[in-house]
Amino acid sequence: MPQNYSLLIHSADQIIWNPGLIHNQLPNLYVAVDRDRSLLFKTPPVGRNRQPAWKFVTTLSSDATSGVTLKLYHDTSGPFPDPCLGKYRTTIEGLLQLCKADSMVEVEIKDKNKVTGRLSVGLKIADATDIQSTSDNMIENAKKIAAGKTTSDIISAIDGSTEMGIMLAPALAQVISKLEIIMKHGDELAKVHSYANAAWKILTVVYKAVKTQRDTDQSIVKVVNTMAEVYSFVSDIEFLPRKIKLLEEVVFAITTQTVECAIFVQEYTGHGFSGRLARANLSDIKLKVDNLSQVLLDLKDRFDRGLTIQSTFLSAEMHKNIEGLVQSDILKNLKNIDFDASQRQGCLPGTRQDILTFVTEWLTMPSTNGNIMWLHGVAGSGKSTISNSIYQHFRNLQRLGGFVFFNRNDPASHSARAIIHSIAYSMAKSNAAFADALHHAIAADAKIVDDPIQTQFEKLLRDPLLAAEPHLLGPTIIILDALDECMHPDARKTLVSLIVNEFPKLPAIFRFFVTSRSGSDIDRRFHGQPGITSKLLDIATEKTEKDILVYIRQCIQDIRDMNKDLGPNWPGESSIVKLGEYSGNLFIWAATACKFIGGYKPEEKLVKLLDPQNGARNNLDMLYTIALQNLADWNDEDFVNDALSILGAITLARMPLTDEIMDSLLGFKSTEILRSLGCVIQWAPGQPVRMMHASFSDYLTTASRSGNYPWLIDSRIQSQYLTLRCLQVLIVSFSSISVALRTLMS
């Protein structure tokens, strides 16, 4: 069995450094340690200095005959390979002999047989104290270079007598410290921040727990050592954001793959959702580890060589070909709803990080508080935007089991059966074991899709999920967004009861994220229920104020880009701050206001919106009123009739209508009016037309809110009008068919 050694990289001097006249700067030096031509770790650079002192201690688990090479590099903080200033080659046994007389020795480094400097190093057989010192050293490095959370806050002392602690602790500490550096730059590296945080959270839990575990194998150690090797690119904190930005897609791939590796380590070491994995569940641990490690190393190589990538991700799960199962005629019995998320926006990068971190951590980590996270808040607070970001986060990790979002103007999804079928179909697309179990259930009884809801839940969802659980590593996430928009409260009782009573009984590996408005019937059912963790989306915070200002500034920049005559400083910081104050911390207010301002004559629109006499401050209804008043001439009777017909069709139609269908139904061209309503509706030519937010539908159909204006929609009158138009279209269609038949028969 390999011996454990304590290696000290202390300092360097007498360095030959020829930067040239162009650069003319001191070197930023670090040492890389190879064992048998495989990189083990790198010391962090300590700043520009020709006599650097790292005082870096780590633990090696190695055979005495293994070759070891110490290489001195200059960190360029750029996308190109760092130049090597010199090397010292020996063996573990040889270096140990040198260090027997003294605790530390000086060795010469050479480049092409020419001495280029000296390194002060030390090596000895490690004991429990050395293991502890190594961990402490890693922790101190993290504390120096990372702000906020520190590794020492969460990592307890490692029991040096445990084999797992000796083999994993140093490498885990090294990866954790590097992830902390990335997390510190959350605003600058927003795209990778959430994945770095997820990996950090998982690995710190594993770090704390390994001291109680005494058995492991070299395979799992290889994954952690590979991560430590790959994250050697996180070195000079001063230049890190610039360095990463140059190859952001590669770093994004590295961090998402790191989360998958971290989940694998968590499950393997017994601190995940399934307890310690039975070896029978993993057909070939070594092959799986080799594949995960190789993907990381390939990504690191691309980073080192400054190469970009399109996309790459390797899951640790055992995937079979499920295409045939999903496309089978049997699964077509499901009344699946296609929830198109292509038009839905997530949070602006760098905003809502507190709540996104809270939700992603909760969904990623095992919990004793059940398997349902319920996020609730007032209308317009950004719940759906957050759910879109959560969807994209777990979709990138290939851990999304289903994404269902409700819209009161899309009744096709308003049934418990539709939700069960849609989740089942989505799960079947992502997991072969689930697809196989679902396939057999429907094949055995095709009429099950029309059985009572409780039976459908058991046969189409619960039982296949139980069958899939042994084949899953780590969490599978299912999202139900805007549950309060699903049906009338009386009609959704069955679905809410299923969520409250049955979902918590499902295996903990299946995590549900549910959002809804506060103050609805869902509150009364969800609050205090076992298995449901409640989270209020509190908008009365300083962080929300800052996030809304970030959002408004980005929107204003987009408006300036589209209107070059506005000038680079329009409209001034005071107007931007005032817009933030007027929003009342509601993202939907800020979004609607920016869309309104970004239309025709932005300067005039901004003045009208900020006029205190108009009463738009903290008032979403008044914002809608101001926007509609300025979109068109509401004294034009023809315009009013056509606009009401269009708004009524959007609000009351049993399914979202495209502009072409709307033209045929209403009998006139809708494009011009749809374009004028752009700040309150979502529309693109040929695509379904939807309200930008449910609060606008409420405003239009509630007399107490819009009754004094010509755009009030009387649901009864508009429903009668739509019914009449449908009948007229049918009559015309039947007449055309009749004429065609007579022509054929003549």
Task: Concatenate the DSSP letters of all residues of 573-600 into one string.
Answer: HHHHHHHHHHTTT-HHHHHHHHHHHTSS
The torsion angles phi and psi of 528, rounded to 5 degrees, stand at 75, 5
Specify the pairing of strand 29-35 against strand 67-74: antiparallel
Find the mean pLDDT for residues 463-488. 87
3-state SS, 203-262, equals: HHHHHHHHHHCCCCCHHHHHHHHHHHHHHHHCCCCCCHHHHHHHCHHHHHHHHHHHHHHH
Residues paired with residue 673 on neighbouring β-strands, in sequence order: none
- Provide the pLDDT for residue 149: 37
pLDDT tens for 647-696 read 988 888 767 888 888 888 888 898 888 888 888 888 888 888 888 888 88
Angle at 124 between CA 119 and CA 126, to 5 degrees: 130
Mean pLDDT, the chain, rounded, equals 81
Identify the pLDDT of residue 484: 87
The sign one gets for the Cα dihedral 725, 731, 733, 736 is negative
**CB-based contacts of 528, cutoff 8 Å, min separation 6:** none
Q: Reply yes or no on whether the pLDDT at 200 is more than 90.
A: no
pLDDT confidence band for 414 (50 / 70 / 90):
low
Cα 479 to Cα 363: distance, rounded to the nearest angstrom: 11
As a dihedral over the C-alpha atoms of residue 554, residue 555, residue 561, residue 565, rounded to 10 degrees, the angle is: -120
Q: For residue 228, what pLDDT band results from cuts at 50, 70 and 90? A: confident
Amino acid at 78: G
pLDDT band at 62 (very low <50, low <70, confident <90, very high): confident
Q: What is the pLDDT of residues 87-110, one digit of tens each?
A: 999 999 999 988 876 678 999 999
Q: How many Cα neighbours within 13 Å face the side chain of 492?
A: 21
Kindly report the pTM of this predicted structure. 0.76
pLDDT of residue 320: 54
Mean pLDDT across the stretch 321-338?
A: 66
The Cα–Cα gap between 623 and 621 comes to 5
How many CB atoms are closer than 10 A to CB 300? 20
Average pLDDT over residues 237-245: 60
What's the average model confidence in pLDDT over 152-173? 48
Cα 597 to Cα 601: distance, rounded to the nearest angstrom: 8
> Strand ranges (DSSP E) for 608-734?
681-682, 690-691
Other beta carbons within 10 angstroms of residue 340's beta carbon come to 11
Q: Give percent above pLDDT 90 in the chain.
A: 25
Rounded distance between C-alpha atoms, residue 169 and residue 318, angstroms:
28
Q: List, for residues 513-571, the tens digit of each pLDDT value.
A: 999 988 778 888 998 898 999 999 998 899 999 999 999 999 999 999 998 889 888 99
The average pLDDT across 697-708 equals: 88
Position 217 confidence tier, pLDDT thresholds 50, 70, 90: low
Give whole-number Cα distances, 16 to 19, 26, 84, 90, 588, in Å.
10, 11, 12, 22, 61
**Of 76-80, 138-142, 170-174, 456-460, which gets the smallest average pLDDT?**
138-142
Lowest mean pLDDT among 53-62, 294-303, 305-314, 359-368: 305-314
What average pLDDT does the segment 216-242 reach?
Answer: 70
CA distances to 8, 51, 52, 90, 178 from 31, in Å: 11, 13, 10, 15, 16
pLDDT value of residue 742: 67
- pLDDT (tens digit, 9 = 90+) per residue, 184-197? 776 667 778 888 88
Q: Which two tokens stand for residue 234?
A: 């996180």
Give the other-Cβ count within 10 Å of 577's Cβ: 13
| Closest to 385 measured CA to CA, from 375, 395, 397 | 375
Residue 151: pLDDT band with limits 50, 70, 90: very low
Residue type, 219: S
Nearest to 203 by CA among 235, 171, 229, 240: 171
Name which of 67-71, 124-128, 223-227, 387-391 the model is least confident about.
Answer: 124-128
**519 touches 561 (CB < 8 A):** no
Q: How many whole angstroms separate alpha carbon 165 and alpha carbon 153? A: 18
Please check whether residue 524 is in contact with residue 532, taking contact to mean a CB–CB distance below 8 angstroms.
Answer: no
Most confident of 134-143, 406-415, 574-583, 625-634: 574-583
Q: How far apart are CA 427 and CA 464, in angstroms?
A: 9
Beta bridge partners of 515: 375
